[in-house]
Structures are given as C-alpha cells and as structure tokens.
Structure 1
Amino acid sequence: MQNKNKTVVKSMDVLNLFLTYSKLSFNEIVQVSGIPKTSVYRMIGSLEEMGFLQKDETGKYSLGLSFLQFGHLVAERLDIRQIALPIMETLQNNVGKAINLIIRDGNEAIYIEKLDTNEPVRLYTAIGRRSPLYAGACSRIILAYLSDKEIDHYLETTELKPLAAGTITDKNKLQEILKTARRNGYTISHSELENHTTSVAAPIFNYKGEVIAGLSIASIDLHFQKENLPQYIEKVKTAATEISQNLGFNVNN
C-alpha cells in the first residue's frame, strides 16, 4: 500500500466527490478537492475520455456511462442483492416505506440496494452511500452480531462522532443497545444519520451463521408510532430471515 500511484489516488479523490455531489463544475472540483487546477484539468480530461466523467451543456461534470457498466457487473455479482431484491420489493409493497440493504465494509456499512417510497418526504439514501457501523439501525444491526472480540475492538478504536441529533456517542450506552439488539433480533434508530427519521433493522446471515448484511424499513419519525412499530419490527425480521434462509442459513441452529 506504500507504493500507491499518486495520480491514481488523486483521480479517485476526484471521483469520490461524486458520491456526495451529483454535479460539479471544474472550479467546484478544484475548490472541494483542494487539488491544484493543472492536476485537476489533466485528470478530468483523462476521466472524461475514458467515460468515467461526462460534461453537460452547462459545463458541469457528473459520473459517466462507464460507471453504469461497472456498476451493473458489480450488482450482478452480488448474490445477496439478487436474492434480497424480490423480498425487499414484497416488503416495500406491504409497508410503503423505504427499504435499505446494507453490507459491512471494514468499519463502515455501505448501501448496496434501496427501494424508495412514494411519500412526499424522502430520506437521503443512495446506493454506494456509507455510514459508520455505530450509527443508524441498519448499520448497527451488523455491529451487534459481530463477535464480542470484534465489538470490543471496534468500541476501543472508534470515535463516536455525532452525525445528527440522535447519534449515540456514549460507548457504554451503545454497548447496551448492541446487547439488546442481539437479544431481540432487531434495533431501532431515531435521528441518528438524519434528523426526524426513524429506522428499524434486522440482521441477515450466511450459511455459516455469520452476519453479512442488514435490512431496514425507514421513514420520517411521524410514520413510526407506538401502534404500528411492532408490525414494522416483525415484517423486517421476517424478510431478513427469508433472505438469510435463501442464502443457506439454518434458523434452527
């Protein structure tokens, strides 16, 4: 890792900007990235030529068609996504809320599939978005089912930074919530990644019984009242179990 090509690294820094911004002008790329203009000019030219960036009539850049091709291949090769998608669609039809599928990537979670809602107010989630394992129900349910050793190491080495009004930043409180989540088979978050939002999530396991993903129902707080919360919990747990079984998990073990 010490021999990273600097040009490649800087090019990835530029491309990573588009995980947050849908479109950027040349000057905005320079400003946000902090990379010198001459370097950005050369990189953008190469990335545009290869189809990784494209420029519209206003002069703003966005991710190019090459990413659709690569993204399609990655999506096809993610068996969990293929298995989960029809079950997610059924769940979304039943509850009418946003449905998210997240997998672990180191100390973060990454969204690999989402089904949006037709509600007027929507949450900001997108395929490829990352979140820390400690924040948000869908991320935290993965953390809850890691080994005790992994959880202890994570808590010892991770700074719990506030991301929204309800982000849990107390490690003792987080540890108790993780224990409760493992005991109950689900977890709930309130305004942890975005204010005024609620999410309920359940774990997905592989044939070895290892947690490999999280499945969540998410919406604005108003839609998660005491009277309907139990049904959302049961539905997301049932859907996650079905996905796990299709991945070879034996629920009786």
Structure 2
Amino acid sequence: MEEKKGTTRAIDRALEILDCFMGEQHEFSLNEISEKISLSPSTTYRLLSTMTVNAYLTKSSDKKYSLGPKIALLGTKCTELKYDHLIEVAKPYMEQLNKKYDESISLYVVEGDQILCVERIETTRALKQAVGKGAYLDLASGASGKLLLAYEPLNHQKKLIGDNPFLWSAVEKIQIDHFAFSTGEKDEGVSCIATPIINAEGEVVASLTMTGLFTRFQGVDLEEKIEDTRLMSKKASADLGFES
C-alpha cells in the first residue's frame, strides 16, 4: 500500500512540473521548478531527469527545462481525436486536389486567436511552404487565417482587427467571394487559396487550403484551382450535412 501511495505522489509531482508550463513562461531552471512545486532541488532533479529521459521535457545547454517532443505528440493526438470526423470527411477531397495539381493541401481550424493545421498533404515538388500538421498560425493573416476570421463572431473580429481598415475590407471581400487568396504573405513566392468548409448548422468549421509557387497560381491556372478548391469544400460541407 505504501508503494502505491509513493507512486501516486511521484505522478502528482510530475504533473505539477508540467503545470509549470501552462503560463507564458516556456522554460525554467531547476531551482525555479523546485520553488514552484515546493520540493527540494534533489528530489526535483530526479523527477526532471526521468521526464527528460522519456522526452516529456528537454534540457538546454544553459540547463533550462522546457516541454519535450512527446508532449507535442500527445497534443497532436488530442487534436486528431477532436477533429477526427472533420479530417475523415475532408481528406478524400484533399487527396483529389493534391493528385490533380501536386500542390500542398491543408485543413485549418480556429483555436483561440490562431488557426491550427489539423491535416496536410504535401506536394512532391521541391519548393514547399514551411508549415506542417500541428502548426499554429496567426488568425488575422494569410489566406487561411483571413478566411476563417471572416466567419468568426463579430466580437472576435473586433478584437483581432481593431481599427485596421485594410483587414476589415479583406474580410468583407471574403464574405462576398467565399474564398481567400494571398501571395507572399506567409512565405515569399508562395500563393495560397482558402475556401470554407461548413457544417450542418451552417457554421464555417474549417478552411480547405491549397498552397504552391506563385508562378503556378496565375491566370487560367489560378481560376481553375480556385474553382476546384471551392468544389471540394462544397462536397466536404455536403458530407457534413450542410445544405446549400
């Protein structure tokens, strides 16, 4: 029984260490963590060493601790579960776009004041956008962010847009066109088309996005890609129960 209690205490202390990283500060020294969880430095060090060996924490050259890669993996798994049905519905249409154009196809959702890439199919071409599955981006910039921002509640829009007339104008245009397009906003030389996926309640729940080299997003090629991306978004929306 004593062993069970001891094991539980160790788990509680490990969780307290992880809780230290819930605020704005992303790395701590041994002494800082020791003070936060009210443990001796020696006991704290043993816990930190175990968590570091198992990749729940990482230790930098200046002996500061931060969250490790296994935490990021767990976060990705949670995201997959949360958006499992959405991804399942959208992925076949993402694959169709990728197969036809060999451009990177992404699925973004709103998470707070950011957008999160919950699924991505990469191009086979050499030049790729430096964004992967699990990446967070600014909700108020880029085609995908602006598209999702255009369908956010007004109070959230006001918070992020403020008195920026150019951003308000962009949002209004997206609401009229039902797609967003940008070039070089996130990465130089990269163009992006974003279209909305809508659920059965009529809510925009995701952005289906195509990105690639700007030279392939011009003239007739651009028009065709916009139409096909919009078509795949409409089909995904229909599968979610949206009746246009």
Give TM-score, length-normalised by structure 2. Answer: 0.75
Q: Alignment length, in residue pairs?
A: 211
Aligned to 2:90: 84
Q: 1:140 aligns with which of 139, 143, 146?
A: 146
1:8 equivalent to 2:12? Answer: no
Aligned to 2:204: 211
CA distance in 2, matches of 1:36, 1:201: 42
1:177 to partner: Cα distance: 1.0
Q: Deviations over 1:203-224 (max 9, x none)?
A: 1111111111111100122221
CA distance in 1, matches of 2:143, 2:116: 13
1:117 to partner: Cα distance: 0.5
Higher mean C-alpha deviation, range 41-50 or range 76-85: 41-50
| Kept after mapping to 2: 8 A contact 1:76/1:82 | no
Q: 1:185 aligns with which of 178, 187, 206?
A: 178
SS in 2 for 1:137: helix
Relative to structure 1, the CA distance from residue 69 to residue 104 in structure 2 (aligned partners, 3 Å threshold; closer, same or farther) is closer
Identity of aligned residues (%): 20
Aligned to 1:226: 219
SS in 2 for 1:227: helix
| Kept after mapping to 2: 8 A contact 1:138/1:200 | yes
Aligned to 1:165: none
Q: Deviations over 1:50-74 (max 9, x none)?
A: 553589xxxxx9624x765664464
1:37 to partner: Cα distance: 5.3
| Kept after mapping to 1: 8 A contact 2:114/2:138 | yes
* Letter of the structure 2 residue corresponding to residue 208 of structure 1: E
1:38 to partner: Cα distance: 5.3
Aligned to 1:167: none
Give TM-score, length-normalised by structure 1. Answer: 0.72
When you count helix as a share of all residues, which structure comes out higher?
2
* Letter of the structure 1 residue corresponding to residue 212 of structure 2: S
Relative to structure 1, the CA distance from residue 6 to residue 189 in structure 2 (aligned partners, 3 Å threshold; closer, same or farther) is farther
Aligned to 2:80: 75
CA distance in 2, matches of 1:148, 1:72: 31
The runs of 5 or more residues in structure 2 that have no matched partner are 1-14, 34-43, 60-66
CA distance in 1, matches of 2:126, 2:176: 35
The runs of 5 or more residues in structure 1 that have no matched partner are 17-32, 56-60, 157-169
Relative to structure 1, the CA distance from residue 119 to residue 105 in structure 2 (aligned partners, 3 Å threshold; closer, same or farther) is same
Mapping of residues 79-118 of structure 1, within 5 Å: 79-118=85-124
| Kept after mapping to 2: 8 A contact 1:205/1:244 | yes
Aligned to 1:175: 168
1:152 equivalent to 2:158? Answer: yes
C-alpha RMSD of the superposition: 3.0
